[in-house]
């Protein structure tokens, strides 16, 4: 990768837009480079949509000149306040900005910005792999500017800052999140000095808005192996600041020689397992939070050992406050995560005992359309090191899945409704609203779900009349 030739670089910049940009820059007599993430992703052969260009001069002027020469089909938006312009052309989106120099004050991540050289502009970038530039002017087209050996770091899989990492992170603490995010997305190592600086500057994350933090955290969550990011967040001390509930899962307590498992590492294993099975962000959040109630439910019971009774329900209640604080959505996505956290023990309990129709029907009814995701989460949750035990669970899960499929084919319990309504009960027995109606309805439901009677109106009515007799109720004679 390091020995890429000029010809190869030119081939990488195959999109005709790059030559068009170069021409416009030549026309204005300014130097122009494609920089940052786009160049990094070219080398990594990752798809990337947004192209960033730095102009040693006015980015706005270049965008306008280019827009003019491209004519119809090109659309330029100018953001004068930021000194930037965006050009859209045949599906390509290019952002133009003048080369700038930045200086920071301590209490803000908003720098003082002045015009600068290309060198100044590369110096203000966060990581060496993000500080590569390729010239687009005609006579130097395809020439790579690699001031900080970013290409070497790309090849070695290393995240390092161009400047002293303490300065880089203290100037803009969001870069700490970006650092861990890139390490996770790309499976790169964080260089030692950089990693130590993360720990020294972790507290500075508090000046960053929650929206920006969650943006990066979600990118970590969506990476192929999200655990990489959480281990780094924990190692440098960012985790207790941004997600104390997850940090609290860490550690093992030993009593009378008995230890419980480290729930942090268990959680990460579950998260990675889910990530292998699904790219769905909220299912991954459910995995991250499935055991979040464990620290609060942990007890030592003499003669039993460590227990975590009701940790699923306690955890379920913790999801909404956490979502609110993290500025995560408070809509059906929250409800979905709550539901999965609350139900995550169910299939395991079923699989541990005899897999009965009624237990599976109840599960199906409560999980509704999220039943498949719940099963993915539960299978991911089996992290036992005991291969035999693990296999037994997986086999039983197969049984649960089989039963789920059978029952779904037979009757649609996801949207089950009782064939007997409360109104019918009142009419039949001449009752006003009272407790007995609920008791009867529950009895009918149990009888159907336990497969004692078929799921139809006639059977349910016969059953109701018998049951009512036992309860001392007599039907009124209806006068038509
Ligand atoms: P991605 O697009 O995958 O989120 P990226 O590196 O392209 O990653 P962008 O936000 O698109 O991120 O930024 C483009 C470039 O701008 C980066 O590659 C980097 O050079 C620079 N950059 C972005 N954010 C920062 C920052 N907080 N500090 C310093 N440089 C930054
Ligand atoms: Mg980008």
Domains in the chain: ranges and CATH: 6-156 (3.30.460.10), 422-470 (no CATH)
Residue 198: CB atoms within 10 Å: 25
Q: 38 CA to middle of ligand 2, Å?
A: 6
| Measured distance CA(451)–CA(357) in Å, rounded | 7
Residue nearest to atom 15 of ligand 1 (CA): 36
Residue 412: per-residue pLDDT: 65
Label residue 3 by pLDDT band (50, 70, 90): low
Cα radius of gyration (the chain): 31
pLDDT at 118 over 70: yes
pLDDT at 1 over 70: no
User: Which helix H or strand E contains 116, and what residues bound it?
Assistant: none
Residue 342: CB atoms within 10 Å: 20
Nearest bound ligand to the CA of residue 33: 1
Lowest mean pLDDT among 24-28, 99-103, 432-436, 475-479: 475-479
Using one digit for the tens of pLDDT, what is the confidence trace for 369-427?
899 999 999 999 998 888 888 888 888 888 888 888 887 777 666 677 899 999 999 99
Mean pLDDT across the chain: 92
Label residue 363 by pLDDT band (50, 70, 90): confident
Can you point out the beta strands (E) in 367-458? none
Residue 276: per-residue pLDDT: 98
**CB under 8 Å to 450, separation ≥6 — which residues?**
356, 357, 358
Q: 285 CA to middle of ligand 2, Å?
A: 24
pLDDT at 9 over 50: yes
Ligand 1 atom closest to residue 126's alpha carbon, by position in its atom list: 29
| Measured distance CA(352)–CA(340) in Å, rounded | 19
Mutate to test the pocket of ligand 1, among 46, 125, 176, 184 (most ligand atoms within 8 A of CB): 125
Residue 88: per-residue pLDDT: 95
Mutate to test the pocket of ligand 1, among 34, 35, 37 (most ligand atoms within 8 A of CB): 37
Label residue 55 by pLDDT band (50, 70, 90): very high
Quick one: which of 335, 396, 334, 410 has its CA closest to 368?
A: 335
Lowest mean pLDDT among 143-147, 194-198, 214-218, 343-347: 343-347
Quick check: 94 and 53 in contact, CB under 8 A? yes
Residue 259: CB atoms within 10 Å: 11
Label residue 480 by pLDDT band (50, 70, 90): very low
**CB under 8 Å to 430, separation ≥6 — which residues?**
476
Label residue 201 by pLDDT band (50, 70, 90): very high
pTM: 0.87
| Ligand 1 shell residues, CB under 6 Å | 36-37, 50, 52, 125-126, 130, 172, 174-175
Residue 353 gets the label, from left (phi > 0), alpha (psi -120 to 50) or beta, of beta
Mutate to test the pocket of ligand 1, among 36, 52, 131, 181 (most ligand atoms within 8 A of CB): 36
Chain centroid to Cα 251, Å, comes to 24
Quick check: 182 and 172 in contact, CB under 8 A? no
């Amino acid at each position: 990768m390091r020995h890429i030739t000029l010809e190869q670089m030119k081939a990488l910049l195959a999109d005709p837009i790059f030559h068009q940009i170069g021409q416009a820059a030549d026309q204005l007599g300014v130097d122009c480079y494609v920089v940052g993430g786009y160049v990094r992703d070219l080398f990594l052969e990752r798809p990337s949509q947004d192209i960033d260009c730095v102009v040693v001069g006015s980015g706005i002027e270049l965008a306008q000149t280019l827009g003019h020469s491209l004519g119809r089909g090109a659309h330029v938006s100018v953001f004068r306040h930021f000194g930037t312009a965006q050009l859209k052309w045949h599906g390509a989106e290019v952002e133009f900005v003048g080369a700038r120099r930045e200086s920071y004050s301590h209490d803000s991540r908003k720098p003082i910005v002045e015009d600068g050289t290309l060198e100044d502009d590369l110096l203000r970038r966060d990581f060496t792999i993000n500080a590569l530039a390729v010239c687009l002017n005609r006579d130097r087209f395809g020439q790579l500017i690699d001031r900080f050996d970013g290409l070497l770091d790309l090849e070695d899989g290393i995240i390092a800052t161009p400047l002293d990492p303490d300065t880089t992170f203290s100037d803009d603490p969001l870069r700490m999140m970006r650092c861990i995010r890139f390490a996770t997305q790309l499976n790169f190592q964080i260089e030692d000095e950089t990693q130590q600086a993360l720990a020294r500057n972790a507290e500075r994350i508090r000046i960053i808005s929650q929206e920006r933090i969650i943006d990066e955290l979600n990118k970590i969550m969506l990476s192929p192996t999200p655990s990489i990011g959480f281990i780094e967040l924990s190692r440098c001390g960012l985790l207790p600041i941004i997600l104390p509930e997850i940090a609290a899962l860490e550690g093992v307590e030993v009593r009378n020689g008995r230890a419980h498992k480290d729930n942090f590492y268990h959680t990460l294993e579950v998260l990675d397992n889910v990530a292998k099975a699904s790219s769905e962000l909220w299912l991954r959040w459910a995995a991250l939070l499935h055991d979040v109630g464990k620290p609060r439910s942990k007890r030592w019971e003499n003669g039993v050992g460590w227990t975590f009774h009701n940790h699923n329900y306690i955890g379920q209640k913790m999801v909404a406050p956490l979502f609110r604080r993290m500025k995560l959505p408070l809509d059906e996505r929250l409800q979905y995560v709550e539901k999965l956290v609350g139900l995550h023990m169910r299939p395991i309990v079923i699989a541990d005992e005899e897999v009965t129709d009624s237990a599976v029907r109840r599960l199906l009814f409560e999980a509704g359309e999220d039943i498949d995701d719940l099963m993915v989460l539960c299978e991911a949750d089996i992290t036992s090191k005991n291969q035999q035990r693990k296999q037994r669970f997986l086999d039983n899960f197969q049984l649960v899945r089989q039963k789920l499929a059978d029952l779904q084919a037979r009757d649609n319990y996801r949207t089950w409704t009782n064939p007997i309504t409360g109104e019918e009960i009142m009419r039949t027995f001449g009752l006003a609203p009272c407790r007995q109606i609920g008791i009867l309805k529950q009895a009918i439901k149990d009888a159907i779900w336990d497969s004692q009677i078929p799921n139809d109106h006639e059977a349910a009515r016969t059953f109701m009349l018998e049951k009512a007799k036992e309860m001392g109720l007599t039907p009124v004679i209806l006068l038509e």
